[in-house]
């Protein structure tokens, strides 16, 4: 060991949860905090300019560059699994979409053994972290560090999408992060004054102004555990091995991929797997790395008959003007992620709360920035929210520098195929509504000829992509459940002085994008770690469609029969 650093709390990972933890654990000035991050600075327009979102998640400088193992149900494709390797973690490379999740998601957590994590318990923490003054009164926070806004929706295609949803019989919602998630409406963004408002900007940078918080750059090789207690972490920095000591606790907040990998390298996980790799077993926890979940999505793309889409801005000259305007004034096309309209709907009668999410975009383009066609177009990103498929994260070798093995086992459950076919057919129905008549041309993808179940399945198998929402690999649950990794206070079962706090602790994936619930975990974890009295539970009740038993739409007068793709939950 070349040198030593020490703090009361050592946080592994400056991502969504880790930044929130650093802010809250250091807030009263009584405790010292070290945040260890392997990535570099988030400075520069590639990260801070919202419209440049396709760049950082495709840059080795900012991304761990993980890929899945060949996925057996997707034609053995290997899918990209970006995770932020930068200050701010994945909140510095994500799409800046803000979704809390549905109330019933957290009630499901509590019912599955995560007592104290029901919607009533977590809503106060969402409100504490938010600065969302546009939202539904009483349901939103207005003075927290995380600024949230709605997009301006200047392009008429946003209005057409919301109106088409209403014409198809679905409701609308003024605030899907308020009492009513279900419906079509404006999408929320973690953007403030034209800049990406990442967890680093919201939490970590203010925390680093305090004398009791330090950011240490280095790659964490393992957690140091003595007599079943975590005492620090071993890091590699500048080709030197260093020890960062924790006087109180080590908190792992390194992502649903890296957190389980770090536990495994530290001897916490399935004993047989660890022994095969020659790693000494500290705690036999078979759930470490299991329960891996994600959201998949497809782009349904339509040609636009009017030249009003963002396609006009994809040439180099326009991009230069957009970049200049953003650099000088922090406004214009560069100041939005362009996800400004959304929907959360139910797939069928009998589903109590939404299980399909839409992002709408007024251009036909991929996440990697490549246009789908040399023409004006628009698209809906659509996918089911609650797949039954489960995967795992495991180690490729005992070398911490080797990337872990990731297998999501996407589309392993037969219901996933019926759900995705319904998503495509429903999107076509929405795009065929009167509101889109002035705009909608031919279908670009999947294409007018892709109609049968077999053709749709082939398209799904070839084109479905991750929405980049991995979670679940250090599942929270009852301490006597052998598949639980952490208890309801996020303590790693079998090891003292060690917790995990990030999306890996989710028992089941939440509705929508995971940045918001990940930050909420950091907020709530800080109170648990400091042994503070939890914020008082909320007595607010979410809106549940009164017709959910008989219809997938807003009114009981038009129940939708789905015999062909009917599945049960």
Catalytically annotated residues: 469
Provide φ and ψ at 398, rounded to 5°: -75, 0
Q: What Cα–Cα distance (Å) separates residue 64 from each residue in 90, 217, 397? A: 10, 15, 17
User: What single DSSP character describes residue 58?
Assistant: G
User: What single DSSP character describes residue 203?
Assistant: I
Using CB atoms within 10 A of its CB, is residue 163 exposed (0-12), middle (13-18) or buried (19+)?
A: middle
Beta strands in 356-404 (DSSP E): 356-361, 377-384, 392-394
CA angle at 545 for the pair 542 and 548, rounded to the nearest 5°? 130
Helix (H) or strand (E) holding 261: helix 255-265
Q: Take residue 54 and report the two structure tokens written for it.
A: 């396709």
Beta-strand relationship, 188-189 and 195-196: unpaired
Binding positions: 8-37
- Distance (Å, rounded) from C-alpha 537 to C-alpha 223? 34
Task: Provide the residue count of the chain.
Answer: 569
- Distance (Å, rounded) from C-alpha 147 to C-alpha 233? 33
Binding positions for FAD: 8-37
Helix axes 119-129, 515-529, angle to 10 degrees: 100
Single out the residue of 442, 396, 391 nearest to residue 413, CA to CA: 391
- Distance (Å, rounded) from C-alpha 472 to C-alpha 291? 5
Q: How many CB atoms lie within 10 A of CB 312?
A: 12
Q: Which residue has the tokens 């102004």?
A: 209
């Amino acid at each position: 060991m070349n040198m030593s650093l020490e703090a009361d709390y050592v946080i592994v990972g400056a991502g969504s949860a880790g930044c929130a933890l650093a802010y809250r654990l250091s807030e009263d000035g009584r405790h010292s905090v070290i945040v260890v991050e392997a990535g570099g600075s988030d400075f520069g327009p590639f990260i801070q300019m919202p419209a440049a979102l396709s760049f950082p998640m495709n840059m080795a400088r900012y991304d761990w560059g993980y890929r899945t193992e060949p996925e057996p149900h997707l034609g053995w494709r290997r899918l990209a699994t970006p995770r932020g390797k930068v200050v701010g973690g994945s909140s510095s490379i994500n799409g800046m979409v803000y979704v809390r999740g549905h109330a019933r998601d957290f009630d499901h957590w509590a019912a599955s053994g995560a007592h104290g994590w029901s919607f009533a318990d977590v809503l106060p923490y969402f409100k504490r972290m938010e600065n969302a003054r546009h939202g539904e009164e009483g349901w939103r926070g207005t003075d927290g560090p995380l600024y949230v806004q709605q997009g301006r929706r200047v392009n008429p295609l946003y209005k057409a999408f919301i109106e088409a949803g209403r014409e198809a019989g679905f409701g609308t919602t003024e605030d899907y992060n308020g009492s009513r998630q279900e419906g079509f409406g404006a999408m929320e963004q973690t953007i403030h004054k034209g800049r990406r408002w990442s967890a680093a900007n919201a939490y970590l940078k203010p925390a680093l102004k305090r004398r009791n918080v330090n950011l240490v750059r280095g790659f964490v090789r393992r957690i140091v555990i003595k007599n079943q207690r975590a005492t620090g972490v071993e890091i590699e920095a500048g080709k030197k091995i260093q020890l960062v000591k924790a006087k109180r606790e080590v908190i792992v907040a390194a992502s649903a991929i890296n957190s389980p990998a770090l536990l495994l390298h530290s001897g916490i996980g399935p004993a047989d797997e660890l022994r095969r790799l020659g790693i000494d077993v500290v705690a036999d926890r078979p759930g470490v790395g299991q329960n891996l979940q994600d959201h998949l999505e497809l782009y349904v793309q339509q040609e636009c008959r009017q030249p009003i889409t963002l396609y006009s801005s994809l040439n180099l000259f326009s991009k230069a003007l957009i970049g200049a305007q953003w650099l000088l004034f922090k406004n214009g096309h560069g100041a939005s992620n362009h996800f400004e309209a959304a929907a959360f709907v139910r797939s069928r009668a009998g589903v109590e709360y939404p299980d399909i999410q839409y992002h709408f975009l007024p251009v036909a383009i991929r996440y990697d920035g490549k246009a789908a066609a040399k023409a004006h177009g628009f698209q809906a990103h659509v996918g089911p929210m609650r797949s039954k498929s489960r995967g795992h994260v495991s180690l490729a070798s005992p070398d911490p520098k080797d990337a872990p093995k990731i297998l999501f086992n996407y589309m392993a459950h037969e219901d996933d195929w019926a759900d995705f076919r319904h998503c495509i057919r429903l999107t076509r129905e929405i795009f065929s509504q009167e509101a889109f008549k002035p705009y909608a041309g031919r279908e670009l993808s999947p294409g007018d000829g892709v109609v049968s179940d077999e053709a749709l399945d082939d398209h799904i198998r070839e084109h479905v992509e991750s929405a980049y929402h991995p979670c679940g690999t250090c599942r929270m649950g009852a301490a006597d459940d052998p598949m639980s990794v952490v208890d309801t206070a996020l303590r790693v079962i079998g090891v003292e002085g060690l917790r995990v706090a990030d999306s890996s602790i989710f028992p089941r994936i939440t509705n929508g994008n995971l940045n918001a619930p990940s930050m909420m975990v950091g907020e709530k974890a800080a109170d648990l770690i400091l042994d503070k009295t939890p914020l008082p539970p909320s007595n607010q009740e979410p809106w549940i469609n009164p017709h959910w038993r008989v219809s997938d739409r807003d009114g009981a007068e038009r129940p939708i029969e789905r015999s062909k793709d009917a599945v049960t939950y």
